[in-house]
Each structure stands twice: as structure tokens, then as C-alpha cells.
Chain A
Amino acid sequence: MRIRCPHCGLRSHAEFSYGGDARRQRPAESNADAAVWSDHVFLRDNPRDVHEEYWQHTHGCRVWLQVTRNTATHAISAVSIAADKSESPCNEDEQ
């Protein structure tokens, strides 16, 4: 499996560290509902299909990427820089 880093090109996945499901939305800090937090921390969609996920190019430029990869075939269909992709880089309580 190789990942095309927008900065460094096509590199072995051994250079990257996995960051897990990129669709999970961290609840707002002001949300005091314990069930919402435990769902966020512990529950996963875990699809056998297309999966949006984070990878960091740890042994390269160190950028965090968002990768679209099929968990049944390992085929990667899209890679982008996570900070560009994220709709709300900070949660609603900050700034």
C-alpha cells in the first residue's frame, strides 16, 4: 500500500502513522452529556467499504492527510491535506 503525499509524492505506507476514522466529530467542550462523549470516544462505524481516515506523513513532511481508502481492497481513491479538508478546524467553543 502506497500513499500519494501532496508534498512528497507516492511513498510506502510505512512512512506514515495511522490516525483512524476522519468522520468522527469531536463534541463541543460545552457539551456535558456523558453519553455523547462515550459514543465519540468508543463507538465506530467501521465500514467494510470506503473509509475516510487520517494518516500523518511522520517520516516525511509530517503533514496530516485525509485519505479515502476502501477497507475491503485497500485501494486509495483520494488524498488531501487534512487541514484543508476539515470544515471546522477548531470546535465551536474556541475563538
Chain B
Amino acid sequence: MRYSVWNLARQALRGHRHWQPAWRDADPAKHYDVIIIGGGGHGLASAYYLARNHDVGRIAVIEKGWLGGGNTGRNTTIVRSNYMLGNNTDFYEWGMKLWEGLSQELNFNVMLSQRGQFNLCHSDAQMDAARRRGNIMRAHGIDAELIDASAVASALPYLDYRDSARFPIYGALYQGRAGTARHDAVAWGYARAADQLGVDIIQNCEVTGYSFQGERVTGVHTSRGHIGAGRVGIAVAGNTGRLAGMAGLRMPIESHVLQAFVTEAVKPCLDHVVGFGASHFYISQSDKGGLVFGGDLDGYNSYAQRGNLPLVEDVIESGVALMPWLSRARLLRHWGGVMDMTLDGSPIIAPTPVDGLYINGGWCYGGFKATPASGWCFAHLLAEGQAHALTEDFNLERFANGRVLDEKGVGPVAWAH
């Protein structure tokens, strides 16, 4: 059923008793041409673009829990394209372009809100770094503006602009097309659209291993039995190490926990996405009014979807240093998600040494914005067997041959990216 104002009116007149489920709850078939493990945004987007752009036969997405219950439903929903190394720049911008048409494409309102993002600078050195990043973005046709403190002050009047401020504001790198989107809607929109193209979405089905014929993957063992597959794609966010481990592979990845926070709803007070430059802190206000924010990783290997209190204190101290009025808001909830932290901080969309097995992972804490482009390019890889031009740099060999994409320049320390 298409979602439209006419259908809404029609259903309203019929007492809302005739809406259809947004997707079928499929039971596993014996065999699929392509199986994607992981029903988060990336797995579902991959299945959708695979069905839409390619001709590969039967496709299934296998999810151990419910759709979007992983990081897709746990993130702070910031969408931007301000990267500067290798494929990162154009890849994330392709994602931004897909975001801009996504609600129409999926016939599902993903509530993209291009409210603009300010990355604040607090020193001359940070202004220089922001200028460099902005110039690289503009050379790639991406919107970026370096603005001075007075321009920041007119947009964000609630910050401290005195020279005596603890972290004086010199200016900001501003991306006007950046913003936020509704995380659940992204999972549900892709699921519904993929289902309409015939993709089977199988929930409550955990992958526990693979079957092989010689060197080639021939299917997956699951909590609901064996399912045969021509090709298998892994899109399981923080669990990539485990799913690769089941095939005997070691990954350039450590799993770490990242926390996020939301306050009680307050009247509109924060119109943009704001990133603090003197400490790791980013904040926006949701449509419901909650202030949504986050900061650093807890900083130790973890598969627990919860963090510890010292980090809560650390993030809130950073927030209050930037916006003292935040101290009066009451925290409603905080939670954690498990990140695939790669050793260079950039993602992996690549074939593996195992025939027929492909990986989409290593998204660190920036993978929500990547969802559409990641699905697009992973679908290409699964269909063609080789990387899409936008993701050639996201291979596994880069770690051995020195072509790492380390945007932050911190070296091979997973929790420092």
C-alpha cells in the first residue's frame, strides 16, 4: 500500500482498521542467491539496492533480533559529508545525495532535517585544519563554509563568545546540508521497500556459522536451521569480528561501546547540530524536544550494549563546558551500542579471502549517515563481485600495504579514532 495523503484519509474514514503490515514476516526458504546477515540500516539498504539496481535472483536479510534494534536504533542520527581522505569524501557525499531523495524513493518519511552542522574551532590551529578540510570538501563539490566567531554568534547566540571564555570560539566549519534523520524510519523504510521488491526479511534468526564446499561458502547455519546461499554478505556493525571469526578470519577491528544521551523534552532551543572542538561532544535537539548528545567511546573492548559511569560524567562535563545551561536539563535516558572500531577509523566494504563471503563493516561511530551509500555500494559488490568505484579504498588489503585512511591521524589504536 502506497503511503499518501489520500490513503491516510481513506484509512481514517474506515477507522484505521485496514492498514497492511509494512513488510511480510518471512520464514526462511531452503536457498537464496544472496543472503545478507544483519537487519540494521546497512543490511536492509543493501538488500533494497540489490533488488532495485541488480538482477541476482532471490535475496534474504537475516536478523537475530528485530529490525533496527542494533546501532541503527541507538545512534545520535547525525548526517553529514565532511570527510577528506581517499574515497571517504565522495562516498559520504553520495550518501548525502541519496539522503536528499530518500523519503520519496522509499515512500517513507525518514524525516531528514538538513538543519546545518557547526564544528566549532577554539584555536588558530583548529581554524587552519577546518580551512583545509573545507577546501577539500569544496574541491569535491560539497558545501562547506568557514565562518568567523561573529557569524557563529548570530546563529548560536547561546554560547560564550568572550575572550575570557574557557574555550574561546574562533569560528566554525559549517555544512548547511548536514543535519539529522529519524533512525527507525530508515530501517523500516528500507525494509518495506525491499519487501515490496520481493526480499525476504527473516527476524529472530541468529547466524551461528557457515557451511562450505571446498573453499566456498554455501550457506549459513542459523537458530532456525541451515539456509543455503550463493553469496553471503555480513552487515552486523559491532559483531563483524565474531561473524568473520566464524569463517576463520581475523579482522582489523576491535568492538567498543559508545554511549548516547537524551534529556527530557524542552521547548525548541537548539536549531542545529553543534560539535564542540575542545572536547569530543556533539548535540542536536530531536523533533520531540529532547536534547540528544554524545561524546567519546568508553575506551575498552566491549560487546555489552551499555557503558560505565565515568564516561557519562566525562560527556556531560564536556557538554556543560560548552553550554552551561545544559546542567539544568534532566537526563531522561542513556544507552550504549557496540561499535566496530577499525584500526584506521574508516570502513570496510570488501570481498574477504573466503570465496563468496563479503563484508560491510567497520563503521566506527559514523555509519548511520553512510547507510544509503553503503547499501548502494555493498549491493554492487554482492552483485558484481568487485568493489564499486566509490569504495575501492575500503578494502582489507589497505592495512598491509600502507594505504590506510586515518582521518584523525592517530595511528593503529582502535579506541583513539
| A residues at B contact (CB < 8 Å) | 1, 12-14, 18, 20-21, 34-35, 38-39, 41-46, 48, 51, 53, 69, 71-74
What's the interface size class on B, roughly?
20 to 34
Question: 13 A-B residue contacts at CB 8 Å?
Answer: A35-B400, A38-B399, A39-B250, A44-B241, A44-B251, A46-B245, A48-B239, A48-B242, A53-B301, A69-B300, A71-B301, A72-B304, A74-B304
Tell me if B232 counts as interface (CB < 8 A to partner A).
no
| Most chain B CB within a 10 A radius of its CB, from A21, A34, A38, A71 | A71
C-alpha spacing A41/B250, complex, angstroms: 12
The answer to whether A53 touches B400, judged by C-beta atoms less than 8 angstroms apart, is: no
Tell me if B255 counts as interface (CB < 8 A to partner A).
yes
A53 to chain B, nearest CB (A): 7
C-alpha spacing A48/B252, complex, angstroms: 15
The answer to whether A46 touches B304, judged by C-beta atoms less than 8 angstroms apart, is: no
The answer to whether A44 touches B253, judged by C-beta atoms less than 8 angstroms apart, is: yes
A55 to chain B, nearest CB (A): 8
A66 to chain B, nearest CB (A): 14
Instruction: Mark interface residues in B376-417 (1 if CB within 8 Å of A CB, else 0).
Output: 000000000000000000000001100000000000111100
Chain B residue nearest in CB terms to A72: B303
| B residues at A contact (CB < 8 Å) | 239, 241-242, 245, 250-255, 299-304, 308, 310, 313, 343, 399-400, 412-415
Chain B residue nearest in CB terms to A45: B250
| Most chain A CB within a 10 A radius of its CB, from B239, B253, B301, B399 | B301
The answer to whether A18 touches B300, judged by C-beta atoms less than 8 angstroms apart, is: yes
C-alpha spacing A21/B343, complex, angstroms: 13
The answer to whether A42 touches B399, judged by C-beta atoms less than 8 angstroms apart, is: yes
The answer to whether B302 touches A43, judged by C-beta atoms less than 8 angstroms apart, is: no
The answer to whether A46 touches B310, judged by C-beta atoms less than 8 angstroms apart, is: no
The answer to whether B255 touches A71, judged by C-beta atoms less than 8 angstroms apart, is: yes
B259 to chain A, nearest CB (A): 13
C-alpha spacing A16/B415, complex, angstroms: 14
8 Å CB contact of A48 from B253, B300, B303, B343: B303
8 Å CB contact of B415 from A18, A34, A69: A18
The answer to whether B412 touches A18, judged by C-beta atoms less than 8 angstroms apart, is: no
Interface of A is mostly: mixed
A3 to chain B, nearest CB (A): 10
The answer to whether B414 touches A44, judged by C-beta atoms less than 8 angstroms apart, is: yes
**A48-B255 CB under 8 A given contacts A53-B300, A71-B303, A72-B304:** yes
C-alpha spacing A71/B412, complex, angstroms: 20
A43 to chain B, nearest CB (A): 4
Residues of B within 8 Å of A53, CB to CB, are: 300-301
The answer to whether B251 touches A1, judged by C-beta atoms less than 8 angstroms apart, is: no
8 Å CB contact of A13 from B254, B308, B413, B414: B308
Residues of A within 8 Å of B251, CB to CB, are: 43-44, 46
Chain A residue nearest in CB terms to B305: A72
What 19 new A-B contacts, CB under 8 Å, besides A38-B400, A43-B399? Answer: A13-B300, A18-B415, A20-B414, A20-B415, A35-B400, A39-B250, A42-B252, A42-B400, A44-B241, A44-B250, A44-B252, A44-B254, A45-B245, A46-B242, A71-B301, A72-B304, A73-B304, A74-B302, A74-B308
Chain A residue nearest in CB terms to B342: A42
Residues of A within 8 Å of B413, CB to CB, are: 20
The answer to whether B302 touches A46, judged by C-beta atoms less than 8 angstroms apart, is: no
Residues of A within 8 Å of B414, CB to CB, are: 20, 44
The answer to whether A46 touches B253, judged by C-beta atoms less than 8 angstroms apart, is: yes
Residues of A within 8 Å of B255, CB to CB, are: 46, 48, 71
Residues of B within 8 Å of A12, CB to CB, are: 310
The answer to whether A51 touches B301, judged by C-beta atoms less than 8 angstroms apart, is: yes
The 4 closest A-B pairs by CB, nearest first: A14-B310, A46-B241, A42-B399, A38-B400
Residues of B within 8 Å of A39, CB to CB, are: 250
C-alpha spacing A39/B252, complex, angstroms: 8
